[in-house]
Amino acid sequence: MSKSGALDLASGVGGKIEKKQVLSAVQKYEKYHVCHGGDEDERKANYTDMVNKYYDLVTSFYEYGWGESFHFAPRNKGESLRESIKRHEHFLALQLGLKKGQKVLDVGCGIGGPMREIARFRGKQQCLSNNKRRGTSYMTANFLCFRQLCNVDFMKMPFADNTFDGIFAIEATCHAPNVFDCYAEIFRVLKPGQCFAAYEWCITDYFDPTNQEHQRIKAEVELGNGLPDIRSMGECLEALKLAGFEVICEKDAAADSPLPWYLPLDKNHFSLNNFRVTACGRFITRNMVKILEFLGLAPEGSQRVQAFLEQAADALVEGGRRVTTLHFISCLS
Ligand SMILES: C[S@@+](CC[C@H](N)C(=O)[O-])C[C@H]1O[C@@H](n2cnc3c(N)ncnc32)[C@H](O)[C@@H]1O
């Protein structure tokens, strides 16, 4: 189901962007970021353009390197990357207490990997999913248990108040320009007394805004992940409460993880089962993209996308050691 060959990667770069426009889209995307002279206010004001450009440019790389679920996961010893991602998704499903026939929303579903896994795990409930760019026909063709798939902005969803029995978000609301407005919109469409569970990507208390090195890592993570800003766990919890939620459970998911969530990206780590994201795999991908771009099979600009993703991978590892983390939150409306 996941597109994973080199030619899929090459032909997918740019997504909905005209192939001839890919290079200029990369340049425009980069300019939003601090590493290229951009600033946070501009990213927030233009979040739709910034996030859409990012996912158009990177989705085929994600599919190639990561598969169908575009998120990290705390990992147990002896567990493969895929197993830890699945376990993470099952945990979320259990937190939501999903039952057959319920209407569930996956906020920012990517290409639908988690949603499909959760539906398989919980017995094919009706799920709705929203995502800015990708996936509609891709998913409906294969997973008819999902009632509807819509490309909508989670900051302003075209759903009536109190529509859903459960809502989840995995590393998606970190793209919101304003976390309170985003949670308030989720609160509005969730039925009263129901659960919203999320994995938020956050900055840790260790982050020191006066530390240049920390700022550099944060800026590179934002560039490599299409983020307007990275918020602290405290800011997210405060915003949830202000939006009307009662926080039931929250924890730094990375803190008690036997293996670090960023391990697959660590250059010093080698694994055959996620070879493509290891240092060696990245070296092969880099040269392959170079050749594909030279041959005209990948659009001009593809190497640049690969370069900022590599920069991001290194920043994620550096950041993951102390500055950024995955935060699990479960709350009731
Ligand atoms: C890191 S991916 C995670 C995708 C998915 N949750 C998963 O784990 O595979 C973040 C997703 O959020 C979506 N997204 C970002 N901003 C959005 C917005 N304003 N409205 C809807 N979706 C958005 C992106 O298109 C992307 O698919």
Structure confidence at residue 96 (pLDDT)? 87
pLDDT digits (tens, 9 = 90+) for 153-204: 899 988 899 999 899 999 999 999 999 999 999 999 999 999 999 999 999 9
pLDDT at 320: 86
267 Cα to the center of ligand 1, angstroms: 26
What spacing in Å lies between the alpha carbon of 125 and ligand 1's midpoint? 21
SS3 call for 87: helix
Angle between helices 302-322 and 212-225 (to 10 degrees): 130
- Amino acid letter, 15: G
The pLDDT value given to residue 130 = 57
How remote is the CA of residue 70 from the centroid of ligand 1, in Å? 9
200 CB within 6 A, ligand 1: no
Probe ligand 1: pick from 53, 63, 131, 328, max atoms within 8 Å of CB? Answer: 131
The one-letter amino acid at 300: E
Cβ of 51 closer than 6 Å to ligand 1, yes or no, is: yes
Nearest CA to ligand 1 atom 27: 110
Q: For ligand 1, is residue 95 a contact (CB within 6 Å)?
A: no
% of the chain surpassing 70 pLDDT: 89
pLDDT tens per residue, range 2-26? 556 777 777 778 788 888 999 999 9
d(CA 57, CA 18): 11
Q: Does the pTM exceed 0.85? A: yes
Half-sphere exposure of 241 (CA within 13 A, CB side): 9
Q: Work out the pLDDT band at 125, boundaries 50, 70, 90.
A: very low
What span, in angstroms and rounded, lies between the C-alpha atoms of 246 and 234? 14
Picking from 101, 107, 142, the residue whose alpha carbon sits closest to that of residue 128 is 107
Banded model confidence at residue 246, pLDDT cuts 50, 70, 90: very high
